[in-house]
Chain A
C-alpha cells in the first residue's frame, strides 16, 4: 500500500496568515493526489483533486501543487471558516490511502 505522510500534524495560525501543509507519498503517484477539509461532526469535503485542480465552489485562496511524491496545500489568507482538519489522499492505486491529517487551529 502507498503510505501518505502529512506534515505538520497540527499548526496554529491567525486569520490572514498564509498556511502550507505538506504531503509525501511513499512511491510515485503522478498527480493522483486529492485534498479534503473536514470540520467536526461533518463529512470530508473535496477541495483539490489532481494535485492542483480546484473543486467547483472552493474559494481560490486554496491552491495545490506537486507531482510524483511531494505535494502541498496552501491557504493564501486564512479565513475563520478554514479552521479545520485537512487530509491528503492518493487515488493512484487501490487501496486509496489518506494522510493522517493536519489540524489547523486558532493561534
Chain B
C-alpha cells in the first residue's frame, strides 16, 4: 500500500525557517517525482515544487524561487521541504504528493495527510 506520512504541525515566527518531512512507503521512492502543494486557509491548491529523488533535480514555482528547498534522504525514502523567511501569508497546509505511481499521464495519485504550518508573531 502506497503511503506518504508527513511530519507534525509547526508554529513559526515571521522570518524563521521551517523544515517538514514526507516519508514514502509502498513504492520505489526514486521512480516517481515527489511534489509539494500548499493550501492556505479557505483557499485553493498551489503547487510549490517537485523533486526527482533519483538525481535530486528540483523545480520550483516562480513564487517560491530562492525561498524554498526540496531535498531527499534516499536511504530513508523521505523528502523534505524547507522554507525560509516565513511570513504570515505562508500559513497553510502543506501536502506532499507523488505522481504516476499507479497510472500514466502523471496525475498526483497519492497524497500525504498534510502538515499545518502556522506563521504568527
Taking the complex as formed, is B59 at the interface, i.e. its CB lies under 8 A from any CB of chain A? yes
Which of B10-18, B79-87, B107-115 lies at the interface with chain A? Answer: B107-115
Of A11-19, A70-78, A92-100, the one contacting chain B is: A92-100
A16-38 interface mask toward B, CB cutoff 8 Å, 1 = contact, 0 = none? 00000000000000011010101
Tell me which residues across on chain B come within 8 A of A56, comparing CB atoms. 102
- Bound together, the chains give a CA A10 to CA B76 distance in angstroms of 42
In Å, the complex CA distance between A88 and B10 comes to 29
- Please count how many residues in chain A sit with their CB below 8 Å of the partner chain's CB atoms: 26
Chain A window 71-107, contacts with chain B (Cβ cutoff 8 Å), 1 for yes, 0 for no? 0000000000000000101010011111111000000
Q: Return A46 CB to nearest CB of chain B, in Å.
A: 5
- B109 & A43 in contact (Cβ 8 Å cutoff): no
Do B59 and A94 have beta carbons less than 8 Å apart? Answer: yes
Interface size on B, residues (CB 8 A): 24
Cross-chain contact A95 with B44 (CB below 8 angstroms): no
Contact between B44 and A46, CB atoms less than 8 A apart: no
Tell me the smallest distance from the CB of A2 to a CB of chain B, in Å: 12
Bound-state Cα–Cα, A32 to B108, Å: 12
Complex Cα distance, B107 from A60, in Å, reads 19
| Nearest 3 CB-CB pairings of A with B | A49-B107, A43-B111, A34-B107
Contact residues of A with B, CB < 8 Å? 1, 31-32, 34, 36, 38, 43-46, 49-50, 53, 55-56, 87, 89, 91, 94-101
> 26 A–B contact pairs at CB < 8 A?
A31-B105, A32-B106, A34-B105, A36-B108, A38-B45, A43-B95, A43-B111, A43-B113, A44-B45, A44-B95, A44-B111, A45-B111, A46-B109, A49-B104, A49-B105, A53-B103, A89-B45, A91-B106, A91-B107, A94-B50, A95-B47, A96-B47, A96-B108, A97-B47, A98-B44, A101-B44
